[in-house]
A and B are shown apart, each in its own frame.
Chain A
Amino acid sequence: MHLTHKLELFPDQKVTQMLFKEVKNAAELRQSAVEGKINAALINPTMLVNPFQVLVAANKAVHLQKTGKMKTRSLYSEIIFNLSPNNNISEAFKRFGISDGDTSVMVVLVHSEDESKLLADITARVSGQQVPVEDVSSLSDQAKIKKLYKVTPLEEKSGTLLDAVVCRMAIKDVM
């Protein structure tokens, strides 16, 4: 169901993604996140193409945290910010973070070892149905994603949407 990946660059850190549908308490979750009471990034899955996109954002966030160069205040807000193709922080939160009326949520945690308790904690707090993380591609709003990331028609022909998205995420600090 959930997907855990050990970061090659930071071998003591793992990234776990959990996807939930039919979520009824998005507003409550969002409030908890704003208050810093949830140790996870709550992401709007309609803006995600593939779990790899989340890994790229998380890897960069951990790197920036370790080198003291984060642009936002916490690791989890940094993950959300890294998903954005531009450098406007509040816009990133609005578009990639969850909104009160959302019915699906992608939960991302960065942790060191045994995750079972952490996952159980999260699952308990989300009022919704956990589904396999790979299902996220069925939730993708491709039109919205193409528009926000400004993917050109030429690019779509020569590569995948995921390629276009990841490339922009990786290079946005110098574009």
Chain B
Amino acid sequence: FLVYLFLIGIYGLITSRNTVKTLICLELILNSNNENLITFSDLFDSCQLRRDIFANFVIALAAAEAAIGIGWIGKSLLIKTKPTGC
């Protein structure tokens, strides 16, 4: 399931011709699938729960880049609507 969500995320990321906002939204789907694949990969031989901790860092990274991305996109959209500086 998670692999298919990942592929849907990539597909939507490439073909998001509507707005810039949906581009970031699908990037988030891609991040959620990434961390799901990390936590799901305990089938491989790796000791001591390393992937869980790495998944937490991926969550933190996703939140950080979402914040920066939204700030950037929001500013560009704001300039489109209100050109006069307030």
The finding on whether chains A and B are genuine partners in a shared complex, rather than unrelated, reads no
Name B residues whose Cβ lies closer than 8 Å to a Cβ of A: none
Name A residues whose Cβ lies closer than 8 Å to a Cβ of B: none
